Structure 1
């Protein structure tokens, strides 16, 4: 009977769960650039929500945001990269906490994260490593509309944000790290909104972001939820960082097979126009990534 009960619980989680408290997501990317076309990366993130997340309020992909669900997360990313004869194995580890706090005025938001990166050089050069700490404060100034500002301290440019890799891919995470560069301190700002489209079963989401470090970068992202389970999206990021690549655009599609299981695919094209940047002889590392991802909730 115990085995039957466990099997039944697992079947419900896989097919029709309408509330969840844990989420595990993973992704992998194939990386093709002008220096090498055999690179790849993979990442995994696990999240625990302090209260059950109701997945019936709108798009399944945004259930935690719509529920203002406080949580803690761990993330890990692994990548193999080769450039100019150097081959690196890059590990990034992260821990993060997010909190939504009701107030008399509007719900307040706060997040704090720590990431550590290890760059293991396989061709004889020195290894590298770095840490980053980030803090964000904000508020939901209107229903499902978050505005937040933050501070990021990067002790070493080798430090990547593992959560950014999971959410947006390795190319954009690398561009964000290059934007902060050796400045060590950066100011960030972002907005996020998710809302229903009146008279339909659809919804739309918008995100904007700004990173002000040694250089400045901005990013834009939008997702159209054709149904609560199916979405298509597009994104664009550009930095004043004067090297390659300095801009990236992407597209993605995600589908929840059940309320507890989703799969998706993404494409990112990151490039650099040397003539416009005044770097005629620069190494141009135009990069394309193709990624697959999956989520499991229980």
Structure 2
């Protein structure tokens, strides 16, 4: 549950804007849902600082940073509170950045820590890639996760692209595949996603992913939307449904997240 919520929060916090160039953005999210038989509520905040002004004229506003090959540093904080008496909150902090050189080399790095009372997880991710064209990139990442002295390592490759269509529309895609190695088992993860942008201001997306490691498998489907009612303000929403099977026991999770962000 922690990974699904964090990924959704980061995705929402990392979008915004319109035709005016920008350099800094701030966002917030509210989440609620159910994991297993436990309800939860949560909130998050995030920010992103770009080293140079981001040109927003190259395509959908939500893809402005990617299309402008922008370099930035960012942060996010997410707190999830289970609806259980005396339960510990799950607090996740992420700090990272993306750097693009003049030769289109991409370097990424993230540090994430999740605190759930008696359970702490620290994650470090580094990635290297390149722009294959002005609107497509590929990044190979290595991630190591220490969950209460249980180590998990990930190696994955991700493609992202934005293709223009007629009459101001465009479509974006994401494809990711990775290898997972734990202390006792190994496995894989695969995810695909696409977003249709009706214009520069409004987009609808859907994504799906599967993970299989040892006797644990999971699948997740999400639907996302982003809308810019003005040049420097975004409203966004995300709905997800996830199922995890462990030792022949199924655990279902679902949730919805609302976000808002400003750029200046």
Tell me the TM-score normalized by structure 2: 0.85
Following TM superposition, by how much is the alpha carbon of 1:271 offset from its aligned partner in structure 2, in angstroms? 1.7
Equivalenced residues, count: 243
The answer to whether residue 116 in structure 2 is matched with residue 148 in structure 1 is no
1:40-71 Cα offsets, whole Å, 9 max, x none, are 22222100000001112110000010101100
Name the structure 1 match of 2:10.
Answer: none
Following TM superposition, by how much is the alpha carbon of 1:81 offset from its aligned partner in structure 2, in angstroms? 2.9
Name the structure 2 match of 1:65.
Answer: 66
Structure 1's 188 and 81: CA in aligned 2 closer, same or farther, altered over 3 A? Answer: farther
1:45-104 Cα offsets, whole Å, 9 max, x none, are 100000001112110000010101100111111112368x9833111111101101122x
| Structure 1 consecutive aligned stretches of length 4 or more whose deviation exceeds 3 Å | 241-245
Name the structure 2 match of 1:222.
Answer: 194
Following TM superposition, by how much is the alpha carbon of 1:268 offset from its aligned partner in structure 2, in angstroms? 0.4
Check whether the contact 1:245–1:287 (CA below 8 A) recurs between aligned residues: no
The answer to whether residue 104 in structure 2 is matched with residue 136 in structure 1 is no
Give ranges in structure 1 of 5+ residues lacking alignment: 1-14, 121-126, 159-181
The answer to whether residue 180 in structure 2 is matched with residue 196 in structure 1 is no
Which is richer in strand? Answer: 2
Which is richer in helix? Answer: 1
Give, in whole Å, the separation in 2 of the partners of 1:55 and 1:190: 24
Task: Output aligned runs, 1:175-194, within 5 Å.
Answer: 182-194=150-162
Following TM superposition, by how much is the alpha carbon of 1:111 offset from its aligned partner in structure 2, in angstroms? 0.6
The answer to whether residue 30 in structure 2 is matched with residue 39 in structure 1 is no
1:205-241 Cα offsets, whole Å, 9 max, x none, are 0011223223311111100000100001101011114
Give, in whole Å, the separation in 2 of the partners of 1:51 and 1:287: 40
The answer to whether residue 94 in structure 2 is matched with residue 111 in structure 1 is no
Give, in whole Å, the separation in 2 of the partners of 1:131 and 1:16: 35
SS of residue in 2 equivalent to 1:68: coil
The answer to whether residue 263 in structure 2 is matched with residue 291 in structure 1 is no
Name the structure 1 match of 2:20.
Answer: 18
Give, in whole Å, the separation in 1 of the partners of 2:215 and 2:195: 29
Which has the higher Rg, Structure 1 or Structure 2?
A: 1
Following TM superposition, by how much is the alpha carbon of 1:130 offset from its aligned partner in structure 2, in angstroms? 2.4
Name the structure 2 match of 1:208.
Answer: 175
SS of residue in 2 equivalent to 1:285: strand
